[in-house]
Every structure is written in C-alpha cells, then in structure tokens.
Amino acid sequence: MKTKIMPILMPLVLLCGLQSSAWGQQPDSPLTPREQMMLQRIEQLEKRLAVLEAKDQPPASAQATAPVPPLQAAAVQEPPHSVPEKAQPAQPQAAEPNKLLDLLHGTTINFLLDTYYEYNFNDPIGRVNYLRAFDVSSNAFSLNQADLVIENAPDPSKGKSFGARVDFQYGQATQTLQGNPANEPRPDIYRAIFQAYGTYVHGGLTVDMGKWSSSLGIENNYTKDQMNYSRSLWFDFLPFYHMGARIAYKLNDDLSLNYWIVNGTEQTEPFNGFKDQLFGLTIQPRKTINWTVNYYLGQEHPDVIYYPNGGPAGLPTIQGLPFAPIPDAPKGKLDIFDSYATWQASSKLTFALEGDYVIERLQTYSAPMHVDGGAVYARRQLTSKFAIAGRAEYLSDRGGLYSGVTQALKEATFTTEYRLPEGFLIRGEWRRDFSNRPYFLTDQLGILKNRQTTATIGLVWWYGGKEGIW
C-alpha cells in the first residue's frame, strides 16, 4: 500500500508549497486562475489519500476474530447484492438428504456364505445323498447357499410401525426350496427370492404380507442359527415357505396367537383356488421355555396342468405359458399337527423337542397317508468358542408321502462347532440314516442299503447389521 501512496504524496507536497506561497500574499489579493486550479487539485488528492489510508487499515471485527479456513470462509461469505438474512428464500434441497437418511435409518444389508465338503461311505452312484434337504452332494466341495438379506425392521419404540425384508438366495439350497414344479407352476420366476414381505406392528399386533419362511418345524434355513449342520428329516418334509398373510397377536408376556392364510405349501402362485390356513399358539410358561403349537389345514392338489414346453393349440396361457384345467381335480385335504419346544437349562446347555403328525388324502373319501414322529436335540457350549450338539429323530412314512415308499426312518447326528471371530464358524458332523428296508444308494445301480453314513465339514461366513436369528 505504501508504494501506491508515495507517488501521490510527492506532488501533494509541491502543491502545498505553492499554496503557502500564495497564502503569503496579502489576503485581499485575488487568486489567479492557476492558483484556484491548484487548490482544487489539492482537495482531490487529499480525498484520494484518505480513501487509500482507510483501505490500508484492517477492520476492527477482523482483528477480534480467529482466522477462518478458506473453505469455511467461502461457505459463509455473503455474495454481492445479497438479500438480508430474514428475506432469504427457503432452500428445500437441504431437506432431501434428511428424507433419504430417515428412509434408510435402521436398514441392514447382510451377507451369508455356506459351503461344505461331505463324504458318503456308501460311495453312491452320482455322488447323491438321499433324504437330505441341503447337503445333497457326496465327495464334492459344494456351495450350499449364498444369501443377501436386506431388512428395514419396524421399531414401535421410535414411532416406526412399518418395515420390509427381502432375502435373495443362490446355491443348492435354492433348488431344494424353490425348484419343485410339482408345487410351483412357474418356479423360475421366484427362484432367487426366498423371502419378500412387508410388516406392520401396532401394540401387540404384528402382520406380515408376502412370501416368508415357514415356521412349521423347529429348524429354519440359515445354518448359523441351527444346532447341527445338516437339516433333519422333518425339515426336509414340512413346508419350506408360504405366500400370503400371517398375523400374530401377543395377549401377554406368556401367550401369543398366530393365524395364517396362504396360497398353499410352497406355492408362491397357487395351483388351486383353496386357501390354506394355520392356527397356532406360542406359549412361554417360564423365561427359559418356549413352546409352539400349530394346526395347518391345506389342499395340495392342482386343478390345472401347465405345459412349459408348449401344449396343444388353443389352450389359454399365462404370460405365454399354456395350461389346461384338470377334470374332476382331487380335493382331499392336508392336516398338519406340529409342536416343538426349547428349554434353556443353563447359559451353556439347551434342549429341544419336536413332534409332528401329518395326514393327507387324495380325494375327500380316500384312505389317508400318514407321516408321524419327532426329534430331540441337545447342545452344550463347552468354551466360548467350542460347542457340541446332537440330534436323534424318527419318521414313520406310511403310504410314502415323504419318501415315496412306506418305511420307518431314523437318523442320529453328532456335531462339533468351532466359532472363530463373530461372523465365521466351522462345523464337523457325523450322521447316520437308517431305514427298515433297503432304500439308500450304493456304488452299484439297483443295489440299495438300509443305511447311509456321512462325514461333513461345513464353513459358514456371515456379515451385516442384523442381530440374532435371521
């Protein structure tokens, strides 16, 4: 700033000298035109000097305030010709991120990978294990399932009554759960969607609408939540999922009522007009005991037949898939009586028990086919990382409703578990299945055995914000 002032001061000093010489003349002497021009010039130079000196001094407010980082200063600096603050227009853009955050608040994205290697000592042709829901392959490294679970659960404590969940599933388990054209008219459409439902909660009432995993039977889909690696015969036999609505109402801390109305057993799309129903109770007589009782009524006989490879000309279609009605379609009913309980005997010891009785008729007047029996479970946590578990079960298949032939089936399973850091576990398992007749494959076609023994090692990884049982 000094370099700008000095060129102005020099002529100003000279002009002041001339002014003093003029003032040295007698006061009554009139100023010459030259002197008047010089006085005007001096006044202009004084004003310019005052402006420059004012710019050279920092404002008092800046001297009393801490330095502001450049980015913050740019953010708070008022633009030229700005409107006074009280007259600033509203900025709705700032609310958009908040709406998105509110929508995503509480959403968890979860992953699970379940793999195994299993060996069947029968050395069966085709390396196939009979009567297994998920561990279907022998002498093979196998992908049981890879899952993606996205959930935004309701939270009534925060005024959030609605939620939703979607489970995507890939692998051998998907073929078991979704791949049966005898139940699903068009299984490929829904193959990767294991669950997809919305939830509403109000007080003691919970309502789910969509496709969801069946709670008939004590075991469920995700290995990390089970006592054993392989699934029981009863898990393999009872329904895997339903499409419809389910309602649970908690009367008090000890008793809840359950009701379902669904398309059928394992029917995302129905193949008849009957709507299956479930009536159930969940009882907690003590904090360490949970007991579930279910009665399920269904009709599992189709009244139409689909032709995935094309049918006779002139048939009606659904999205290009021909179908035809079945004359005098069977209308026999399915009755399932299902009950199971768990007892947390201590922080390290758990017992469980399941009992089932199933009847199905082809026609309303037909002789019934029966499946009955049950299973017992026990699990002991030996250390913080190591646990053991056992299972024994019995299934009487009169009429071949489960296995295709009349037989009595039994199985015993022993499982060891080593849990590494949260999100990874290893299970080793020995299992033997028995029958009262030759049924299980061997290394020779047409030669069957009445038993099969398998040894398995399973590795399960999972990650995500969802806590507890999936």
Provide the token pair at 383: 């250390």
**Among candidate residues 176, 276, 225, the one with its CA nearest the CA of residue 379:** 225
Query: What's the pTM?
Result: 0.77
DSSP string spanning 400-467?
A: STTTSS-EEEEEEEEEEEEE-STTEEEEEEEEEEEESS--EE-SSTT-EESEEEEEEEEEEEEESS--
Domains and CATH numbers, the chain: 1-23+36-47 (no CATH), 108-463 (2.40.160.10)
pLDDT in tens, the chain (470 residues): 444 444 444 444 444 444 444 434 444 456 677 667 777 777 777 777 676 666 655 544 444 434 434 433 333 343 444 444 444 455 555 555 666 566 677 899 999 999 999 999 999 999 999 999 999 999 999 999 999 999 999 999 988 999 999 999 999 998 888 867 777 888 888 989 999 999 999 999 999 999 999 999 999 999 999 999 999 999 999 999 999 999 999 999 999 999 999 999 999 999 999 999 999 999 999 999 999 999 999 999 999 999 988 888 889 999 888 999 999 999 999 999 999 999 999 999 999 999 999 999 999 999 999 999 999 999 999 999 999 999 999 999 999 999 999 999 999 999 999 998 889 999 999 999 999 999 999 999 999 999 999 999 999 999 999 988 99
User: How far apart are alpha carbons 463 and 109 in whole angstroms?
Assistant: 8
Residue 156 burial class via C-beta count within 10 angstroms: exposed 0-12, middle 13-18, buried 19 and up:
exposed
User: How far apart are alpha carbons 211 and 267 in whole angstroms?
Assistant: 9
Q: Amino acid letter at 431?
A: R
Residue 405 burial class via C-beta count within 10 angstroms: exposed 0-12, middle 13-18, buried 19 and up:
exposed
Q: CB under 8 Å to 408, separation ≥6 — which residues?
A: 394, 395, 396, 397, 435, 436
